[in-house]
C-alpha cells in the first residue's frame, strides 16, 4: 500500500489518484548538493479542517455547506458529511495524555512478537526494537553453525529464524560486519511501516490468518475503541474489536487509496485513531472515479466509517 506512485496507467487516470498526487509531498530540485531540499508548495485551500469547524460551531453554531453535526449524546462534538452517510469525524477526541500513552505503546509494545510487522518477511520477529534503537545497537545476521559466534546473552537476542539475527553493541557489530550482514536498529525503526494486533492479517493472501500465533488486543485499547465507536453502533450493540493495524508514517509517506474489505462483518464500523504529525486524509466514493474529499487529520482525531462509508475508498 505504500509507494503507490508506481500504480499503473489506469490508476493514474482516476479521480482518486489525481487527488493523491495533488496533495503528495514533493521537493524542489536543487542544483546544490549541500542545500537542503525544500518541499513544494501545495494548495490546501480546499482541505476540510474539522478543528476550525468545531471551534466555529462551538462559538456560533455555524457549519460549512455539506458538513452536519451528529447529535448522539456523545461527550464531544461529532461531525458528518451529507454525501457520505456513515462517516463520522471526532476532532480532538483524545486528550494529550492519551495521545502520549498510545504513541509510546505504538513504538514499544505493539511491534512486539507475536504481533507481525513489515520486517517479518526479511528478518523474522524482532523483539525490543525501540529499546535497541535507543541504545544504538546493530542487528547482525549470523548463519547457524557449530562454530557460531560467541556472545554474551545480554548482548544479543535471537529471533528463532533459519538465520539468527541478533542485536549487538555497535563496536562488536563493526568487528563482525565484514563477514555478516548488519543493519542499525535505528534504521529498522525508521523503516517500520506497520504492525498488526489481535488476529494477524496475511498480506500475501489478503485474509486473516487465524492459525498464526497472536495475542488479544490489549484491554485498554479495546475499551478505548468501544468508547469511540459508540456513535456509529446500533443502539444496544457493543463494538468488539478483534484485529487492528498500526500504520507508521514518515514525512512524505502515503497510503494508497483502498477499501478495508476483508472483514466478514461489514455491519461494524472501522475505528481509526490518529497520533503524531498532522496529515491529509482522503475520503472518496464507491469508485476510484469519484473525486475524494480532503481533510486534515491531527493527533487525537478519531474517524469512524460505518454503513455506506465502509464501501468508500480512502
The span from the CA of 44 to the CA of 52, in Å, is 14
Could you read off the pLDDT of 43-69 as tens digits, one per residue? 999 999 999 999 999 999 999 999 999
Q: What is the mean pLDDT of residues 146-165?
A: 47
User: What is residue 246's predicted lDDT score, i.e. its pLDDT?
Assistant: 96
User: What is residue 144's predicted lDDT score, i.e. its pLDDT?
Assistant: 56
Residue 4, pLDDT above cutoff 80 = no
Which of residues 144 and 81 earns the better pLDDT score? 81
- Where along the chain do its domains lie? 14-24+35-100+218-311
Best CA proximity match to 291, nearest among 42, 46, 8: 46
User: What is residue 182's predicted lDDT score, i.e. its pLDDT?
Assistant: 85
Could you read off the pLDDT of 233-260 as tens digits, one per residue? 988 889 999 999 999 998 889 989 998 8
Could you read off the pLDDT of 253-305 as tens digits, one per residue? 998 999 888 777 788 899 999 999 999 999 999 999 999 999 999 999 999 99
Best CA proximity match to 271, nearest among 247, 293, 294, 239: 239
Binding residues: 258, 260, 314
State pTM to two decimals: 0.86
* Helix/strand/coil for 102: helix
Which of residues 243 and 35 earns the better pLDDT score? 243
The span from the CA of 296 to the CA of 262, in Å, is 26
Binding residues for Fe cation: 258, 260, 314
Q: What percent of the chain has pLDDT over 90?
A: 61
Q: What percent of the chain has pLDDT over 70?
A: 86
Amino acid at each position: 500500500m505504500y509507494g503507490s506512485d508506481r500504480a499503473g496507467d489506469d490508476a493514474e487516470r482516476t479521480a482518486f489518484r489525481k487527488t493523491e498526487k495533488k496533495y503528495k509531498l514533493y521537493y524542489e530540485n536543487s542544483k546544490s548538493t549541500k542545500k537542503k531540499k525544500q518541499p513544494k508548495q501545495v494548495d490546501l485551500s480546499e482541505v476540510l479542517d474539522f478543528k476550525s469547524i468545531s471551534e466555529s460551531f462551538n462559538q456560533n453554531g455555524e457549519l460549512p455547506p455539506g458538513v452536519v453535526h451528529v447529535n448522539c449524546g456523545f461527550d464531544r462534538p461529532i461531525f458528518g458529511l451529507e454525501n457520505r452517510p456513515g462517516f463520522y469525524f471526532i476532532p480532538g477526541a483524545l486528550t494529550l495524555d492519551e495521545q502520549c500513552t498510545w504513541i509510546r505503546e505504538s513504538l514499544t509494545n505493539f511491534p512486539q512478537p507475536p504481533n507481525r510487522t513489515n520486517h517479518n518477511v526479511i528478518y523474522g520477529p524482532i523483539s525490543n526494537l525501540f529499546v535497541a534503537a535507543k541504545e544504538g545497537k546493530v542487528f547482525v545476521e549470523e548463519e547457524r553453525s557449530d562454530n557460531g559466534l560467541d556472545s554474551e546473552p545480554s548482548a544479543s537476542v535471537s529471533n528463532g529464524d533459519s538465520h539468527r539475527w541478533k542485536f549487538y553493541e555497535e563496536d562488536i557489530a563493526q568487528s563482525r560486519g565484514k563477514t555478516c550482514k548488519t543493519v542499525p536498529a535505528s534504521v529498522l525503526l525508521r523503516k517500520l511501516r506497520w504492525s498488526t494486533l489481535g488476529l494477524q492479517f496475511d498480506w500475501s493472501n489478503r485474509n486473516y490468518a487465524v492459525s498464526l500465533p497472536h495475542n488479544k488486543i490489549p484491554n485498554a485499547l479495546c475499551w478505548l475503541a468501544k468508547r469511540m465507536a459508540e456513535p456509529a453502533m446500533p443502539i444496544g450493540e457493543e463494538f468488539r474489536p478483534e484485529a487492528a493495524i498500526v500504520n507508521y508514517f514518515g514525512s512524505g509517506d502515503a497510503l494508497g487509496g483502498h477499501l478495508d474489505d476483508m472483514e466478514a462483518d461489514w455491519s461494524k464500523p472501522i475505528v481509526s485513531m490518529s497520533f503524531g504529525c498532522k496529515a491529509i486524509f482522503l475520503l472518496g466514493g464507491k469508485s476510484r472515479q469519484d473525486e475524494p474529499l480532503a481533510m486534515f487529520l491531527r493527533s487525537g482525531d478519531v474517524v469512524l466509517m460505518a454503513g455506506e462509508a465502509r464501501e468508500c475508498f480512502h
